[in-house]
Chains A and B, each alone.
Chain A
Amino acid sequence: MVVLIAALAALVLMSALWVVTLRNLFRAALSLGLVLIGVAGLFLVLEAEFLAFVQILVYVGAILTLVVFAIMLTSKVQGRAPDVSSRQPAVAGAVSLTLFALLTAVTQPIVWAQAPGVAAVPLATLGQQLVTTLVLPFEVVSLVFVAAMVGAIAIATSTRPPER
C-alpha cells in the first residue's frame, strides 16, 4: 500500500509542480486535472470511494471544465502570449520552502499510532451524518451555492467594458 501511495504521491507532486510553473496556462490547467485525478486515487486508497467519485465528477468534470472555458474566453485578451510566471519567484519560493520546513518540522515528530481495527467509514454513515449532525453545514452550503450563482451572474452581466 505504501508503494501505491508513493506512486500516486509522485504523480500528484509532479503535476502540482507543473501547475505552478508551466508558462502555458492551458497546460497548467491540464496538469491540475492530473493532480485532481491523483488525489482521487489517493481517496480510493484511503477507502473514501464516494469522495473519490465526487472528486472526479465535480472537480475534474465541472470545475476544471469551467477553468478551461475561462482560459479560452480570456485568451483573446492576451493572445497566447507568454505567461511570464511570477513577479517574485525567489521570495515566494523562499517563503513556501520555509512554510514547508515549518510544517514538516511540526508533523514529522508525531508518531502515528497503529490503530487496530478501526474500520473505514461506510457510506451509509456518511449519509446519515450529513442529514443529522451535519445538517446545518449541509444547508448552509446550499445557501452558499445560491449566493455564488447569483453573485457570478451579477458580476458577469453587469460589467460593461469602459470607454478607453
Chain B
Amino acid sequence: MDHAATHAIVRTLTVPQVALIPGLPLAAFAILIFFGRRLGRMSAWLAVAALAGACAGTLALAGPVVHGDRVAVSWAWLSATDPRWTIGFSVDGLSWIMCLVVTGIGSMIAVYSTGYMADDPRFSRFFAYFSLFCASMLTLVMADHFVLLYAGWELVGLCSYLLISFWFEKPAAAAAGQKAFLTTRVGDTGLLLGILLLIFSGAALHFDQLGMVRAHLPQGLLTVISLCIFLGAVGKSAQFPLHVWLPDAMEGPTPVSALIHAATMVAAGVYLVARTMVLFTPESLQIVLAIGVITHLFAATIALTQTDIKRILAYSTLSQLGLMVTALGIGAAGAAMFHLVTHALFKALLFLGAGSVIHATHEQELDHLGGLRKRMPWTSTLFLIASLSMGGCVFLSGFWSKDAILLAAREVMPWLMWVLLGGAAMTAGYIFRLYLRCFHGEASRHGGHGEHQAHESPAVMVLPMAVLAVGAALAGLLTGSPWFHGLFSLLGHHEAHPAPQAISNTLHAVGGTPPHGGGALDVPILVLSTAALALGFSLAWVVGFRRRNLLPEPLRPLGRRLYTLAYHKYYIDELYGRFLIQPFLAATRALARFDHAVIDAAVNGAGRLGGAIGELKREVDERVIDAAVNGIARVAKDAGEALRWILSGIIQQSLLVVVVSVVALSIALLR
C-alpha cells in the first residue's frame, strides 16, 4: 500500500466484544484473587488462557483495523451533564499494535512463568497480579478517553508496585516497589495536570477529537499541556530525571521485569506521546528530544560498567526508551512505535534468557558466570539472536527499527544521526559484553557453588523464548522493511487529523513514511549502522571480554575515574537522597514533632479540659443543684410536718373547716 500521505480513518465500527480484550484478563484476576489458592497450579493456565483469549480477540480485529477502520465501543458515562463524558474502548492501528504486543508477549511470558515461579508459595497470586496488569495495560492502550487512559495508567502503576515487591520479605524488594511507585507518581501528577488543564480549557477529552483541540487552543497553553503529559511519560518510561526506579525494579521476579519493565509498561509513556502527538508544539518537542537523547546516552554509558545481568538489561531498557523518545522528539512517531514493538520482542527475550540463567545458576553477577554456552545451548542461542537484533544486525528486527529512527534523524537533524550512531555502538558494546562474559569464556567460580550445576531450563520456559526469538528475528522484516510495511500503514491512520501535518518549520510528521525511502534499501544508513555494530562488538570483545585496557597511559586515570562515575550511576540516587529525600524526611519528622507536641497536646488538653469541666459540673451538680433539690424536698417535708397538726383526727376540726369553707365560698359567690 502506498503511504506517502496519511489516510483518514475510513469509518468507525461499534463492536461491543472489544470490551472482552481487557475483560478476559480482568475476569481471570477476579477469579484468581479469590479462588487462586484453591486452584493451585491451574491458576497459571487460567491466566494464560485469558491472555490467549485476549490475543485471539485482538487478532480477530485484524481485518477491519488493517483496512483502516476503527473498532470502538462506547458507553455514556456522565454525558447527561456534559456530552464530553462518554467512556469506551477504541482500537485503531496504533492501539491494535500495542494490544498485540501486550497480549502476544504477555502470553509467552505467562507460559514461561509457570516454570520460573513453580516453587513460589504465592504462585496463584502472581498470576492474579499478572492478569490484572495485562487488563490495565489493555485498558490503557484501548482507551478512547483521557480519563480512562489515566485510570489504566494508575492501575498499571499499582500492578507494577505489587509485582516489583512480590517477594516483599526482602527489604530491598519492598523498598524498590515503593521507590517505583513514588517516582512514577511524580510523573503521573504531570499527566493529571495535563488532563485538568484540558478540562478547564474546555477541550475535548476524546482522542479522536484532539485535532480540534489543537486548532482551538493557543500555542503557549498547548506547550504547557503537552509538557505536562510528557511528564507522565517521563515517569512511566523512566526517562531522565525520573529514571531511578527502573534499575531497582529488577528486585522483582524476572518475568515481571520482562513484561513490565521491558516490553509493556515502560512503553506506555511512548504510546501516550504518540497518541497525543498532535498536541505537541515545536517547543515541547524540543524538550522531548533533549530528554530522550540525554537518557539514551547516559543510560548506555552506565550499562557499559554494570556487572549484574539484570541491571545491565535495565539500563539497556532505559537507553532504548530514550531512543524511542528521541524519535518522538523529531516527530517520527511511526519509527518510535516500530522500535517499541521490536524492542518489546528482543528485550523480553533477553530478560527471559537472563531469567533462565538465574533459575539455573541462582547467580546474577557477571563475575560469577561464564561459559554457560555448553550447558545451556538453547538459552545461549536465543540470547544471541536477541543480542544481534538489539545491536542492529542486518535484516533482524532491531536493525529495521533502528534504521527507521536514524533515517528520520538524518532527514531532520544530521548531527543527531551521528549522536545516535554513537549510541548504537554503545548499545552493541554492552549487550555483547554481557553475552560474551556470560556464555563464553571459561566456566567461572559458579561451578564451585556446589550443587547448582547449570542445566538447561525446562521446555515450558524455553519454548516461549523460542517464539519470541522468531519475532525478534523476523518481525521487523515483515512489518517495517521496504518490502513489507504493514505496520506503517497501520500507524499512519491514527495521525490523520484535520490539523495540518506540519508541526513546525523544521520538523514534519514522518509517521506515514516507511523506512528506507518507501521502496528501496537506503545503503548509506545500512553501512553506517553495521559499522556501529562492528565497532561495538569489537570493543566488547577486546575490552569487555578479554579485559584489555585500550587507553594510552596518560589517560588511564581519567578513564578509571569516568568508569567509576558511570559505575555509580553518576551518583544520581545519592543526589536525590541528599537533596530531596532527606530534607523531605526531616520535614516530616519536624511535622511529626509538631503534631505530637502541639496538636496532640491541644487535643489531649481539650480532652482534659472536657474532663475538668465534667468535674466542675459534678461539683456544681452536687453542691448546688442537689442541695437545691434536696433543700426543696426538705422544705416540703418540713412544711408538711409543720402543718401536720391540722390533721388532728378530730372530727370537729374537719367540720369546722367544712363550715368555714362553705361560708367563705358563699361570701365569694355572693359578690
A and B bind: yes
List, in ascending order, chain B residues with CB within 8 A of A96's CB: 659
List, in ascending order, chain A residues with CB within 8 A of B652's CB: 87-88
Per a CB cutoff under 8 Å, which of A87, A91, A99 touches B663?
A99
Q: A91-146: which have CB < 8 Å to B?
A: 91-92, 95-96, 98-99, 102, 105-106
B666 at the interface (CB under 8 A from A): yes
- Would B656 and A102 count as touching, CB distance under 8 A? no
Give the residue name and chain of the A residue nearest to B666 (CB).
A102
List, in ascending order, chain B residues with CB within 8 A of A87's CB: 650, 652
User: For the complex, would chain A's binding face be called helix, strand, loop or mixed by DSSP majority?
Assistant: helix
Cα-based distance from A145 to B652 in the complex (angstroms): 27
Q: B651-671: which have CB < 8 Å to A?
A: 652, 656, 659-660, 663, 666-667, 670
Cα-based distance from A91 to B650 in the complex (angstroms): 15
Cα-based distance from A96 to B667 in the complex (angstroms): 14
Against B, the Cβ 8 Å flags (1 = close, 0 = not) of A76-94 are 0000000000011001100
- Would B659 and A95 count as touching, CB distance under 8 A? yes
Q: A10-40: which have CB < 8 Å to B?
A: none
The 10 closest A-B pairs by CB, nearest first: A98-B663, A99-B663, A95-B659, A102-B666, A95-B660, A102-B663, A102-B667, A87-B652, A95-B656, A91-B656
List, in ascending order, chain B residues with CB within 8 A of A88's CB: 652, 656
Cα-based distance from A106 to B670 in the complex (angstroms): 9
Minimum Cβ distance to chain A for residue B474 (Å): 131
Minimum Cβ distance to chain A for residue B68 (Å): 119
List, in ascending order, chain A residues with CB within 8 A of B666's CB: 102
Minimum Cβ distance to chain B for residue A150 (Å): 24
Q: B54-76: which have CB < 8 Å to A?
A: none
Interface residues contributed by chain A, number (CB under 8 Å)? 11
List, in ascending order, chain B residues with CB within 8 A of A92's CB: 656
- Would B656 and A99 count as touching, CB distance under 8 A? no
17 CB < 8 A contacts A-B: A87-B650, A87-B652, A88-B652, A88-B656, A91-B656, A92-B656, A95-B656, A95-B659, A95-B660, A95-B663, A96-B659, A98-B663, A99-B659, A102-B666, A102-B667, A102-B670, A106-B670
Give the residue name and chain of the A residue nearest to B664 (CB).
A98
Minimum Cβ distance to chain B for residue A94 (Å): 10
Minimum Cβ distance to chain A for residue B381 (Å): 132
Minimum Cβ distance to chain B for residue A128 (Å): 37
Cα-based distance from A106 to B666 in the complex (angstroms): 10
Contacts A99-B663, A102-B666 given; 8 further ones with Cβ under 8 A? A87-B652, A88-B652, A95-B659, A95-B660, A99-B659, A102-B663, A102-B667, A106-B670
Minimum Cβ distance to chain A for residue B663 (Å): 5
List, in ascending order, chain A residues with CB within 8 A of B663's CB: 95, 98-99, 102
List, in ascending order, chain A residues with CB within 8 A of B670's CB: 102, 105-106
Minimum Cβ distance to chain B for residue A110 (Å): 14
List, in ascending order, chain B residues with CB within 8 A of A91's CB: 656
List, in ascending order, chain A residues with CB within 8 A of B667's CB: 102
